[in-house]
């Protein structure tokens, strides 16, 4: 019996799952962290552990997996947490100020509460550590970029890695030979080019703001828009940051961040909502088309996450304009694939590029990586080495 606790700590809430052999034994959310009832992450985790002890129990717990958003270039694989790893995560907080600090608080709390259980940090950026320099480098002076850690890092890596492995199995191709374009489309959204099982480009960059139009994020825009808003609208840096991250995307275009709500309004004749969906789909189409060029011989286009798995009309809007590139959708199979529990093909089988809807499960992926790292699978041994601890220099 090898149980793994998976923890995803946010600034005001904490999600957790207890898993064993691929099954979810228990899950929960502790909210209102910072309130008198739950003053900090230690209190939230104490409450979560008490609930687990009263339920399935923690007997057989072999490790805890913590989702950590930003690993920079210091962490390119899961890391067994020690004081040096804690310090490395903290040093990267300037690159993910909303995410790394609460996640680090969760790590520190559980190291105190479960001192004999290995703690493993699993980084959203790690899967993208294989992106080559020509895709990771921004065209600014390299000395400045190195000093401040400015480069493409990419995010949603845990999800992209999970669906890469599942898609390879569906296709009957070894992971080391699979070539994909994977689309993680939820409130946050990103596209990744996968060549021979490795990420070689991705739409998110230094932060999760770059790339696709998302629920509340603008995605790509001319950087001069920022200067223009500062000069002409009297906005300061904090105003523009809030605008582009929290008041743009679908929310900015249509007043709603939920694709389902925007689609209902568009179907009812709301032109603003219709335009928002057109912009949303067009940006996704551009990235998919670009990554079909980046990865010659793509075997499948993969849709995952909340919108990708459930919105057949978005998949149709993208795939119907890629027929000249070998993407041929089966309309009936696509319409039927709404929230499938297992991977399903929605192409018509006549083209060189399959179209798959693959459910993501980031918690399962984190648990799997924890088991590999702590040596709880046949043939695995705990190890440290390059990419499993903090590096030196700028992240």
> Cα separations (Å) of 162 from 101, 231, 358?
25, 44, 9
Q: By the 8 A CB rule, do 138 and 151 touch?
A: yes
Residue whose C-alpha is closest to residue 301's, from 360, 359, 355, 358? 355
Beta pairing partners, 93: none
> Cα separations (Å) of 235 from 231, 252, 253, 312, 372?
7, 17, 19, 39, 48
What's the per-residue H, E or C state across 47-92? Answer: HHHHHHHHCCCCCCEEEEEEEECCCCCCCCCCEECCHHHHHHHHHH
Residue with tokens 């032109």: 271
User: Looking at the chain, how many residues does it have?
Assistant: 395
Active site residue 124: yes
* Active-site pick, 82, 124, 196, 348: 124
Using CA atoms, how far apart are residues 350 and 359, in angstroms rounded to an integer?
24
Using CA atoms, how far apart are residues 345 and 360, in angstroms rounded to an integer?
15
Task: Record the tokens describing residue 270, joined without a space.
Answer: 């709301």
Rg of the Cα atoms in the chain: 21
Task: List the alpha helices (DSSP H) in the chain.
Answer: 41-54, 83-91, 100-113, 133-136, 142-148, 157-171, 224-232, 237-246, 249-254, 259-267, 271-294, 305-310, 312-319, 331-336, 362-374
How many Cα atoms occupy the beta-carbon half-sphere of 245 within 13 Å? 12
Using CA atoms, how far apart are residues 199 and 303, in angstroms rounded to an integer?
16
CA 202 to chain centre: 11
Four-CA torsion 172, 175, 177, 183, nearest 10 degrees: 90
Q: By the 8 A CB rule, do 56 and 18 touch?
A: yes
Catalytic residue ranges: 124
């Amino acid at each position: 019996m090898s149980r793994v606790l998976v923890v995803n700590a946010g600034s005001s809430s904490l999600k957790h799952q207890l898993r064993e052999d691929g099954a979810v034994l228990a899950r929960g959310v502790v909210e209102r962290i910072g309130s008198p009832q739950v003053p900090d992450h230690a209190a939230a985790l104490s409450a979560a552990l008490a609930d687990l002890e009263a339920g399935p129990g923690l007997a057989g717990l072999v490790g805890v997996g913590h989702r950590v958003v930003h690993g920079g270039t210091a962490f390119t694989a899961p890391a067994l947490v020690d004081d040096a790893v804690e310090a490395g995560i903290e040093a990267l907080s300037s690159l993910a100020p909303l995410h790394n600090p609460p996640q680090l608080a969760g790590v520190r709390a559980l190291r105190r509460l479960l001192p004999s259980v290995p703690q493993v940090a699993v980084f959203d950026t790690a899967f993208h550590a294989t992106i080559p320099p020509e895709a990771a480098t921004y065209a600014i002076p390299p000395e400045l970029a190195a000093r401040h850690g400015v480069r493409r890092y990419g995010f949603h890596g845990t999800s992209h890695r999970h669906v890469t492995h599942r898609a390879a199995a569906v296709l009957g191709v070894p992971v080391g030979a699979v070539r994909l374009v994977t689309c993680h489309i939820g409130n946050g959204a990103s596209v990744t080019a996968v060549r021979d099982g490795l990420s070689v480009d991705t739409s998110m960059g230094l932060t999760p703001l770059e790339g696709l139009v998302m629920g509340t994020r603008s995605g790509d825009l001319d950087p001069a828009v920022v200067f223009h808003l500062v000069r002409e609208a009297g906005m300061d840096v904090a105003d523009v940051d809030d605008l582009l991250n929290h008041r743009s995307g679908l929310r900015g275009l249509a007043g709603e961040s939920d694709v389902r709500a925007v689609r209902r309004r568009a179907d009812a004749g709301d032109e603003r909502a219709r335009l928002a969906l057109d912009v949303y789909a067009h940006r996704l189409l551009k990235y998919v088309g670009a990554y079909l060029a980046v990865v010659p011989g793509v075997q499948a286009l993969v849709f995952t996450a909340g919108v990708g798995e459930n919105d057949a009309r978005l998949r149709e809007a993208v795939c119907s304009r890629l027929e000249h590139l070998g993407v041929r959708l089966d309309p009936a199979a696509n319409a039927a694939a709404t929230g499938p529990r297992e991977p399903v093909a929605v192409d018509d089988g006549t083209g060189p590029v399959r179209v798959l809807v693959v459910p993501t499960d980031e918690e399962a992926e984190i648990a799997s990586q924890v088991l590999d790292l702590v040596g709880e699978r046949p043939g695995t041994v705990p190890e440290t080495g390059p990419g499993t601890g903090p590096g030196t220099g700028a992240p």
